[in-house]
Structure 1
Amino acid sequence: MGKHILVIGGFSIMHKRLKKLGAKMTLINVSTEIKSNENSTYHRVIGVPKDKSINEWLEIAAFFHNIDPFDGIACFHEMDQEKAAYIAQELQLFYLEPKVIERTRNKILMRSVLREYGVDKTKNAIVNTTDEISSFAQMHGYPIILKPVDGWGSIGVAKIENAEELEHALGWYQTADFGSGMIVEEYLEGKEFSVEAFSENGIHKIMCITEKFKEEQHFVEIGHRLPYKGVYSDYERAIHEFVQHALTSIGITHGPSHTEIILTIDGPKIIETHTRLGGDYIPELINMVSGIDLLDLWAKQAMGESIINEIPQTPNMKKSAAIWYGTPSTAGLVKEIIGEEEAQSTAGVTRVEILQKQGNKITGMKDSFSRSACVLATGENTDLAISNAQLALSKIQFVIEDEQSEEVVVCSS
């Protein structure tokens, strides 16, 4: 039996990677998220009620550590990383410090640290009322961004162009109901990218720069393409150095990171960073064009292996890959989905995912979880890759029963 790894939270795909590497695993997860058909993956499975505090998770972990010591700790789900960090600190296991996780989750803390180190001085403030939002806008000018302090998936995010839009944006934020407070930030004008990296002993290696596409009102991501080789490629070195400085300032010393930036006329500015791999199939897109398996690298690191030398200084990406999302503009109940097989047979397409199934309610694209379908595709260059994905997506149609008229309509995704 290999190393005994304490696994905190979900993401069974990664847990199976650990088992493949020979890990003996004790899983601690919320009881309702444990799947009985996957229990054979683990040496021991411990279910915890959802309302238990971090201290109670600590007590459970310490109890089992005393009777069957852990060699390491792993956590692959962002929402559980704070628990993992405190448990690791208590049991003296190697992991990121709790303050590092908190800096990546709390956007006010992140901006404070980046400002202190001179990395990024984007203006922002905690606000509680419309008057405070208005005062920030008067001081720094419109447009501004309103968002939750520790939100995710573009939930509750709004761009405010003028004072007339303030009440609507505040109402939109309140639908998110994070309860963690809200912040306003200056609007960063420019092209958006995400930067995938792995860190080890404080050394940061950049895997890929991904070009991002978002809808304008709530910044829901609708597409990505990589590797980026457009008109901004002259700034590649500046982006690399900026992200490396940001990761060092925040205190990220090891593991994967996914950093979202805007390339402004004044250089790169950060939106947010995460101590995890990128979402929206970005690891799969990278694997499609480079052959590098980011999930394997993460699993090896969790087992205590060194992986930094497995990452080429400049990964060889022989082709390009893209993903494109869509959702019908008509709100209502999904009655039928047409064209999935036709989309799958489109040139360059590697994956088609229907995200809103028959019987689901479609409400438009308001956050990452409301998108209805996506297509992954490759091409000789990024233009062709994204064109292949968009063409395939256009073939998918949703038959929807309109909420207002009860009329059944056919909508493209």
Structure 2
Amino acid sequence: MTKLGILQLPYNPAALRQLVKQLAKLSGQVLFIDLQARIDACTPLSLPDNVRFVACPSYEIEVLVQQARELQLDNLVSFAELGLVPAAQVREALGMHGHDELTELNTVDKHRMRVCLRDAGLSQVRSTTCQAPELVRAIEEFGLPAVAKPAKLTGSIGVQLLADMNDVPDYLQRLQANPYSKDCQLVLESFIPGAEYSVEGLLLDGAIHLYGVTEKQTTEAPYFVETGHRFDANHPLLALLHPALQAIFPALGMSICPFHIEFKMVEQRVEIIEIHSRFGGDFITQLLEYSLGNEAFLEFAEYLLHGHVPHLERQAATITAVGFAPVPAGVVRSVSALPRADAIELLEHSIDVRPGDVVTPKTGFYNRPAYFISRLRDRQAAQVFEQWMKAFTIELATKESA
């Protein structure tokens, strides 16, 4: 029986549940490989017969290569950003099918990605890179306003629009206070205004399979924390994306992977913000499954192990949306009751805070302790869902009342 290894567990418990549920249908064994501490931290989960957790002593490549040999894996992948390069190194060492290390670095490293695209004439965004102590000097040469972000992190960690030099001391302090971004390499890029989107799909030995487009809602400048997503399998931008991606993927050496690509439209041209050779987080794979019925994790695994090409039925697809409740640091004073849901179709939700809880954002300026997923009858229904979301509030105590 074929064996697929998956390096590093998802941090989102809902993503892990979806992944396990889908891969229970895979014709083969699935081995989730991670540190014992990460496995122990998982919410108790009933695993199907073909799925099991396997502890690794460390993420050292030599250790992972030896373990892959002992487990007799047919392939090793990762759906976590930090696992993409180690998984590629193992594949390369053992001759497994998939991207090599340099290809993964072309997307994991945001500055490297920008240079590849610009050299191929596929991006007009200015970019430079520096270490945190060099940021002031780099800004003096690059100019402001500019977007600063860590070169190899994700999830809006450390992303900020720097409007003038007065923003820099607080930004550097925020980077140093965050264990993920402390002492990291930074990227400075020119800011692109306009609506932000992402496209979700599979790249299967050069063949592009598009699931749909996700419209993004954010807190806007300066932090751009994502507050919601709206997935549409029949989005009008799909017609422009396919030819654009046919040029972009070869420029980065990409040939076989899931993809989640953030972009903006500039004068009817696709301008890439970030490219990820994995599925999108933030419940995007749940939106995709609710919309199309496609099980994206399973479909990629089935192609990788058995060559099965997925099938999409767009005619019956619905628009699906997720909304988050962003909360900065503080003590929760109150959590409102769930608004009446008569006008929306609420598919699932979770509220993970209650009065008295202390909110301490770990990856950015905000935490998002509540989410709501809805099915929308049409694009106009999105406004109804947004108004419904605004009726749900998490209030923090003031210093006087804390």
**What is the TM-score with the length of structure 2 in the denominator?**
0.85
Cross-structure match for 1:410: none
Instruction: Using the TM superposition, give the Cα deviation of residue 278 of structure 1 relative to its aligned residue in structure 2, in angstroms.
Output: 1.4
CA separation in 2, counterparts of 1:131 and 1:74? 39
Instruction: Using the TM superposition, give the Cα deviation of residue 316 of structure 1 relative to its aligned residue in structure 2, in angstroms.
Output: 2.5
Query: Does structure 2 retain, via aligned residues, the 8 Å contact 1:9–1:77?
Result: yes
Cross-structure match for 1:237: 239
Query: Does structure 1 retain, via aligned residues, the 8 Å contact 2:57–2:63?
Result: no
Residue type of the partner of 1:201? D
Cross-structure match for 1:94: 97
Instruction: Using the TM superposition, give the Cα deviation of residue 295 of structure 1 relative to its aligned residue in structure 2, in angstroms.
Output: 3.0
Question: SS of the residue aligned with 1:58?
Answer: helix
Cross-structure match for 1:300: 302
CA separation in 1, counterparts of 2:31 and 2:294? 28
Cross-structure match for 1:57: 64
CA separation in 1, counterparts of 2:288 and 2:93? 36
Match of 1:119 among 99, 119, 122: 122
Cross-structure match for 1:218: 223
CA separation in 1, counterparts of 2:218 and 2:384? 18
Instruction: Using the TM superposition, give the Cα deviation of residue 369 of structure 1 relative to its aligned residue in structure 2, in angstroms.
Output: 6.4
Match of 2:383 among 387, 393, 399: 387
Question: SS of the residue aligned with 1:396?
Answer: coil
Distance of aligned partners of 1:220 and 1:113 in 2 relative to their CA distance in 1, 3 Å threshold = same
Instruction: Using the TM superposition, give the Cα deviation of residue 184 of structure 1 relative to its aligned residue in structure 2, in angstroms.
Output: 0.5
Instruction: Using the TM superposition, give the Cα deviation of residue 157 of structure 1 relative to its aligned residue in structure 2, in angstroms.
Output: 1.0
Match of 2:400 among 398, 401, 405: 405
What per-residue deviation string (whole Å, max 9, x for no partner) do you get for residues 369-389 of structure 1?
6113222222222231x2343
Query: Does structure 2 retain, via aligned residues, the 8 Å contact 1:355–1:371?
Result: no
Instruction: Using the TM superposition, give the Cα deviation of residue 228 of structure 1 relative to its aligned residue in structure 2, in angstroms.
Output: 8.2
Q: How many residues align?
A: 388
Which is worse superposed, 93-102 or 282-291?
282-291
Query: Does structure 1 retain, via aligned residues, the 8 Å contact 2:20–2:47?
Result: no
Distance of aligned partners of 1:223 and 1:133 in 2 relative to their CA distance in 1, 3 Å threshold = same
Query: Does structure 2 retain, via aligned residues, the 8 Å contact 1:228–1:382?
Result: no
Query: Does structure 2 retain, via aligned residues, the 8 Å contact 1:365–1:371?
Result: no
- Residues 120-139 of structure 1 aligned to structure 2 (within 5 Å): 120-128=123-131, 129-138=134-143
Which is worse superposed, 176-185 or 17-26?
17-26
What per-residue deviation string (whole Å, max 9, x for no partner) do you get for residues 138-185 of structure 1?
3xxx32111101111111111012233233333333334343311101
Cross-structure match for 1:325: 324
Distance of aligned partners of 1:256 and 1:249 in 2 relative to their CA distance in 1, 3 Å threshold = same
CA separation in 2, counterparts of 1:293 and 1:200? 16
Cross-structure match for 1:200: 204
Query: Does structure 1 retain, via aligned residues, the 8 Å contact 2:212–2:234?
Result: no
What per-residue deviation string (whole Å, max 9, x for no partner) do you get for residues 313-358 of structure 1?
xx325532222222356x5323663413x45665222222224456
Structure 1 gaps, min length 5: 408-413
Question: SS of the residue aligned with 1:370?
Answer: coil
Residue type of the partner of 2:344? A
Query: Does structure 2 retain, via aligned residues, the 8 Å contact 1:243–1:259?
Result: no
Cross-structure match for 1:189: 193
Question: SS of the residue aligned with 1:34?
Answer: helix
Question: SS of the residue aligned with 2:62?
Answer: helix
Match of 2:369 among 360, 372, 382: 372
Residue type of the partner of 2:270? P
Distance of aligned partners of 1:358 and 1:80 in 2 relative to their CA distance in 1, 3 Å threshold = farther
CA separation in 2, counterparts of 1:191 and 1:394? 20
Cross-structure match for 1:251: 253
CA-based RMSD of the aligned residues comes to 3.0
Question: SS of the residue aligned with 1:367?
Answer: coil
Cross-structure match for 1:411: none
Cross-structure match for 2:13: none
CA separation in 1, counterparts of 2:366 and 2:27? 35
Question: SS of the residue aligned with 2:306?
Answer: coil
Distance of aligned partners of 1:8 and 1:270 in 2 relative to their CA distance in 1, 3 Å threshold = same
Instruction: Using the TM superposition, give the Cα deviation of residue 126 of structure 1 relative to its aligned residue in structure 2, in angstroms.
Output: 1.0
Cross-structure match for 1:349: 346
**What is the TM-score with the length of structure 1 in the denominator?**
0.83
Distance of aligned partners of 1:359 and 1:91 in 2 relative to their CA distance in 1, 3 Å threshold = farther
What per-residue deviation string (whole Å, max 9, x for no partner) do you get for residues 230-288 of structure 1?
8xx4x543333223322232122123100000112372211111111112222222333
- Residues 23-34 of structure 1 aligned to structure 2 (within 5 Å): 23-34=28-39
Query: Does structure 2 retain, via aligned residues, the 8 Å contact 1:199–1:256?
Result: yes
